[in-house]
Amino acid sequence: MTIIKRAWTAVTRKRRRSLTIALIMTLIFTLLIGTLTVQQTMAQLKQSVERNIRAGFSIASKQPSGEVPMDIAQRVQLLDKVKAHNFQSETTAGLPGKQLIDTAGSGVQLDANVAGEAKVTGATQSNLLGEFTGRFYQLEQGKHLGANDQNAALVHKTFAEKNDIKPGDKLDITKDGRRVTVTVMGIFSGKGEKPAVLQSDMAENHLITNLAAAQLLTGSKQLTRATYFAEHPHQLKSLTDRTKSLPNIDWKKFSLTDNGAAFAGVLQNIAGIQNILTIATIGAAAAGLAVLSLVLVFWVRGRLHEIGILLSIGTSKRQIIGQFLAELAIIAAVSSVFALGVGSVASSQISTALTAQTDQSQRIEKTVVQAAPIATYLQAFAFGYVVVLLSAIAATAPIMRQSPKQILAKLS
């Protein structure tokens, strides 16, 4: 108890000295909190990217109007590690009694028969279409189409408003004398990735149906495109390699395109940032150790007279070191409080900026920056206190290795 009282007295009486040490400690703790909490956010961001960006690949014919045979598509579907699939059939068709959205300002004069057709995409699961996974389209009302839905469709919000269409309404689609009546299950909004020239190129004139409905319109059971998704991004390459090795498939006729480049870059950037943060954490600890040790060396040397007096009245070296450590612990405790506030605010802003930039560039759902777990702050403080302890040992070791007689001789 006497050591604690002496330590408190020493800290409060030498305010300028204590404040200098406190500022250095605050900076060390702040840097450690900042780097470790941002590193935690990068781990969350990596998980979010892997969860939102579906790692997958598509198979399509190299011919402009070519098809993918259903048997080939089903063989790939059965491969291990294929988490989900989406078969697509695309065509253009007429919508009797409905008005399409005009391509205003295009300046292109088109044949009436061509211009009057809408794009129809039949899909196994509408939410797995590239327009939705890429967040170009967003479902506004109703629900997505699933594998069990029959004669169902999604229409664009602008088209629905112009034709007074609501979920549950019926819609006729015609193609070369074939007619399919579908029920509108949902309404979506958004724009296409590329500028539209034809009316059928416009997102507003894009009709999404279940796969069977589109196949009835085309009169073919074959597919325009087959898309597959891996269970995990790191499995994508091995999955595409196994697909290319399937027998009796002429890959000169078909193209296989994966989206690995879409997320590999951002995951690589996140890994790079994590490496930088690891180096920064080590650097902050090393720099803090060097600076604080230097300051504490002068701090200890400036107290030689005090040390000599304590030794002359019978105070042991262990008690003197205990007092010094108690003083540093008091200062470190106060510094930790300030560092916690400053570090939390700074790391939160940095984390928010990094996640927002990644979300926007990758067109994924907004990543919610969660508060770092208590364990992360405890880890930062543990590193900080280790730095303080090592600095104290480095500063006091040269003096404490000397005998009381040697220390007292320096004072005379």
Do 70 and 199 belong to one domain? yes
Runs of H (alpha helix) within 163-259: 211-218, 236-244
Q: What 3-state class would DSSP assign to 8? A: helix
Residue 110: band (very low, low, confident or very high) from pLDDT cuts 50, 70, 90? very low
pLDDT higher than 70, residue 410: no
Reported as a single tens digit per residue, the pLDDT across 119-136 is: 999 999 999 998 888 788
C-alpha distance from residue 81 to each of 15, 125, 133, 242 (Å): 65, 19, 20, 11
Distance of CA 230 to the CA centre of its chain: 18
Domains identified in the chain, total number:
2
Single-letter amino acid, residue 379: Q
Do 147 and 229 belong to one domain? yes
Instruction: Report the distance separating Cα 217 and Cα 219, nearest Å.
Output: 6
Task: Among 212, 242, 258, give the residue marking a domain's end.
Answer: 258
pLDDT higher than 70, residue 188: yes
Q: How many CB atoms lie within 10 A of CB 342?
A: 16
Do 240 and 342 belong to one domain? no
Whether the Cβ atoms of residue 128 and residue 221 lie closer than 8 Å to each other: no
Runs of H (alpha helix) within 219-259: 236-244
Do 45 and 111 belong to one domain? no
Do 151 and 298 belong to one domain? no
Q: At what angle do helices 404-411 and 304-312 cross, to 10 degrees?
A: 120
Average pLDDT of span 310-331:
84
Q: What is the structure's pLDDT at 108?
A: 44
Whether the Cβ atoms of residue 255 and residue 118 lie closer than 8 Å to each other: no
Do 122 and 232 belong to one domain? yes
Do 67 and 143 belong to one domain? yes
Q: What is the structure's pLDDT at 280?
A: 86
DSSP strand E in 212-270: where?
225-230, 254-258
Interacting residues of 212 by C-beta distance below 8 A, sequence separation 6+: 122, 150, 151
Task: Among 238, 258, 278, give the residue marking a domain's end.
Answer: 258
Instruction: Report the distance separating Cα 18 and Cα 270, nearest Å.
Output: 40
The reported pTM is 0.62
Do 291 and 369 belong to one domain? yes
Instruction: Report the distance separating Cα 198 and Cα 116, nearest Å.
Output: 9
Per-residue burial over 270-292, b = 16 or more CB atoms within 10 Å of its CB, e = otherwise: beebbeebeebbeebbeebbeeb
Question: Which of 346, 378, 388, 282 has the alpha carbon at shortest distance from 25?
Answer: 388
Do 232 and 307 belong to one domain? no
Interacting residues of 398 by C-beta distance below 8 A, sequence separation 6+: 297
Residue 118: band (very low, low, confident or very high) from pLDDT cuts 50, 70, 90? very high
Do 70 and 203 belong to one domain? yes
Strand partners, 229: 56, 84
* Domain that residue 149 falls in: 55-258
| 3 state SS for 33-95 | HHHHHHHHHHHHHHHHHHHHCCCEEEEEECCCCCCECHHHHHHHHCCCCEEEEEEEEEEEEEC
Residue 64: band (very low, low, confident or very high) from pLDDT cuts 50, 70, 90? confident
Task: Among 258, 281, 301, give the residue marking a domain's end.
Answer: 258
Reported as a single tens digit per residue, the pLDDT across 345-375 is: 887 777 777 666 655 555 455 555 566 678 8
Do 74 and 152 belong to one domain? yes
Q: What is the structure's pLDDT at 58?
A: 93
Instruction: Report the distance separating Cα 16 and Cα 385, nearest Å.
Output: 22
Do 93 and 127 belong to one domain? yes
